[in-house]
C-alpha cells in the first residue's frame, strides 16, 4: 500500500473560518493533539499575517517533535523572511509559498501578467530554497487556471527548488472527474514531476472536497491537505477524519494508507469544538453524534444481530463506547429488549408489546426519553394502566 501523508491545516486555514480563531495557548494545545493524532505535517499559521501568528508558530515549533512544521508565505521576500523566522525552533521545517494563477485572480487581485507571475515564482521559490531545504509551492485557484499556464508555473517552481507542489481547489469549484483530469494533465506534461511530491488542498463549497481529494489521490497525489472537522474558509476544507476512514474502509480499492492514530480522531474533534466552540452537525460523518447511532427499528434489529449490517466503520476502533441503539419513535421491540438487557432491568417478556406502546406514546410528546424514564416505564407494576401524561 502506498503511504499518504496527512498535511493538517486546521491551525492555519481552519482557524481562518469565522468564529474559529484561537489564542496562542489554544494553538499550542491543539498542535500537541495533532501530534498525538500522528499527522505528518502541521501548517501552524501564516507568519506575515500578524505578530501573534508568528509567535504562535514559534511556540508550536518548540513543543512539537515529530511532524514537519510549515509556515505559509506569499511570493514576496518579507513574507518568506517572516515564515523562516517563525520556524527557527522547528525540528523539521517547511516554507509553504503560494501565488494565484487563475485569470481572475491575476487580473483583479494581483494586477499581474502571466510573465510577471512566472518571474515572481522563479525568484521567490529560489529565495525560499536558500533559507530552507523543504519548500512547498501552491498555485492558488489552480482548478480555474489555464492548464498550459499551470504547467509553466509548476515547471518553474520545480526548477527553482520546490519539492512539493500543491494543486488547490481554492473555491471548491471542481468536480472529481475534472480534478482527476487536471492531475493527469500535470503528470503527463510537467518535466521531472515524478521527482517531487504532489499535494491536494480542496474546499467544500459544493460539498465535494473529500470526493475531489480522493479523486486526486487516485491519480497519484501522495499528500492530502485537510482539517479536523472539515473547518475552514466559507464551507470549509476536506475533512481529515472522512478521508482517513475512507482509506481504511475502502483499503482494497485505494490500496493506500495513512499513519493516523484513529483512536485520537474523536478526541481531536472534541478538543477542537471545545477550543473554538464550532458546531459539528449531528449527522457529520465519523465524528457527528449520530454517526454510529440507530433509531429505526429495522436498522436496530440488524445491528443487534450483527453491527456490520448497517455500520461500515467499527466504532470501537475509534475508541467509542457501544451505545449505538437509541430509543426513539421509530424503535421496535428488539431495540427495547436490548436496551433493557444493557440496563440490567428485570422485565416480563409477556408485557413487551405494552412497553413498546407506552414508550412510543411518551416519545410522541417528548422526542427523547431518558434512561430514568425508560426504567420507570419498564419496572412500574401498573404498566398497562400508564399513560404518557403520567410520566
Spatial distance between the Cα atoms of 106 and 113, rounded to a whole number of angstroms: 7
| Domain identity same for 227 and 332 | no
| Domain identity same for 125 and 263 | yes
| Domain identity same for 220 and 311 | no
> Is 112 a residue whose pLDDT tops 50?
yes
For 62-88, the pLDDT digits (tens) are 999 999 999 999 999 999 999 999 999
What CA–CA distances, in Å, run from 185 to 147, 154, 160, 163, 180?
Answer: 8, 12, 21, 19, 9
Looking at per-residue pLDDT, the higher value among 178 and 388 belongs to 178
| Domain identity same for 199 and 269 | yes
> Is 388 a residue whose pLDDT tops 60?
no
For 226-251, the pLDDT digits (tens) are 999 999 999 999 999 999 999 999 99
Q: What is the mean pLDDT of residues 9-37?
A: 94
| Domain identity same for 187 and 119 | yes
| Domain identity same for 244 and 99 | yes
What is the domain count for the chain?
Answer: 2
Domain boundary residue, one of 210, 244, 276: 276
Query: Quick one: 333 exposed, middle or buried, by C-beta within 10 A (0-12, 13-18, 19+)?
Result: middle
> What totals of helices (H) and strands (E) does the chain contain, helices first?
15, 10
pTM of the predicted protein model: 0.88
Q: What is the mean pLDDT of residues 108-115?
A: 98
> Is 323 a residue whose pLDDT tops 90?
no
3-state secondary structure of 157: helix
Q: What is the mean pLDDT of residues 180-190?
A: 98
Q: Give the domain extent around 320.
A: 297-390
Q: Which single residue is written with the C-alpha cell 469549484?
A: 173
Can you give the CATH number for the domain in which 23 is found? 3.20.20.70
Residue 382 binned pLDDT confidence (cut-offs 50, 70, 90): low
Amino acid at each position: 500500500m502506498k503511504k499518504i501523508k496527512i498535511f493538517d491545516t486546521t491551525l492555519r486555514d481552519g482557524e481562518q473560518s469565522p468564529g474559529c480563531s484561537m489564542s496562542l495557548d489554544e494553538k499550542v494545545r491543539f498542535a500537541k493533539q495533532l501530534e498525538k493524532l500522528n499527522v505528518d505535517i502541521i501548517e501552524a499559521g501564516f507568519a506575515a499575517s500578524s505578530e501573534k501568528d508568528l509567535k504562535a508558530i514559534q511556540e508550536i515549533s518548540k513543543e512539537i517533535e515529530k511532524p514537519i512544521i510549515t509556515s505559509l508565505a506569499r511570493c514576496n521576500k518579507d513574507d518568506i523572511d517572516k515564515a523562516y523566522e517563525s520556524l527557527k525552533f522547528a525540528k523539521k521545517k517547511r516554507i509553504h509559498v503560494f501565488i494565484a494563477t487563475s485569470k481572475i485572480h491575476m487580473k483583479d487581485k494581483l494586477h499581474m501578467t502571466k510573465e510577471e507571475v512566472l518571474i515572481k515564482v522563479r525568484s521567490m521559490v529560489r529565495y525560499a530554497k536558500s533559507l530552507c531545504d523543504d519548500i512547498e509551492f501552491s498555485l492558488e485557484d489552480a482548478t480555474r487556471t489555464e492548464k498550459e499556464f499551470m504547467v509553466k508555473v509548476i515547471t518553474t517552481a520545480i526548477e527553482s527548488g520546490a519539492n512539493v507542489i500543491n494543486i488547490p481547489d481554492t473555491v471548491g469549484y471542481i468536480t472529481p472527474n475534472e480534478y482527476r483530469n487536471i492531475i493527469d494533465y500535470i503528470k503527463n506534461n510537467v518535466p521531472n514531476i515524478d521527482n517531487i511530491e504532489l499535494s491536494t488542498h480542496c474546499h467544500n463549497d459544493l460539498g465535494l472536497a473529500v470526493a475531489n481529494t480522493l479523486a486526486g489521490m487516485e491519480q497519484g497525489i501522495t499528500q492530502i491537505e485537510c482539517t479536523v472537522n472539515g473547518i475552514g474558509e466559507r464551507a470549509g476544507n476536506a475533512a481529515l477524519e472522512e478521508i482517513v476512514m475512507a482509506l481504511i474502509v475502502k483499503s482494497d480499492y485505494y490500496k493506500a494508507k495513512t499513519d493516523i492514530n484513529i483512536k485520537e480522531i474523536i478526541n481531536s474533534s472534541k478538543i477542537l469544538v471545545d477550543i473554538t466552540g464550532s458546531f459539528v452537525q449531528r449527522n457529520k460523518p465519523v465524528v457527528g453524534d449520530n454517526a454510529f447511532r440507530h433509531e429505526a427499528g429495522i436498522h436496530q434489529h440488524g445491528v443487534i444481530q450483527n453491527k456490520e449490517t448497517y455500520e461500515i466503520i467499527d466504532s470501537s476502533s475509534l475508541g467509542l463506547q457501544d451505545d449505538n441503539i437509541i430509543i426513539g419513535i421509530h424503535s421496535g421491540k428488539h431495540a427495547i429488549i436490548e436496551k433493557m438487557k444493557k440496563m440490567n432491568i428485570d422485565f416480563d417478556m409477556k408485557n413487551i408489546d405494552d412497553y413498546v406502546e407506552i414508550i412510543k406514546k411518551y416519545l410522541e410528546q417528548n422526542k427523547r426519553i431518558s434512561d430514568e424514564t425508560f426504567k420507570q416505564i419498564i419496572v412500574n407494576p401498573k404498566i398497562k394502566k400508564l399513560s404518557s401524561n403520567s410520566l
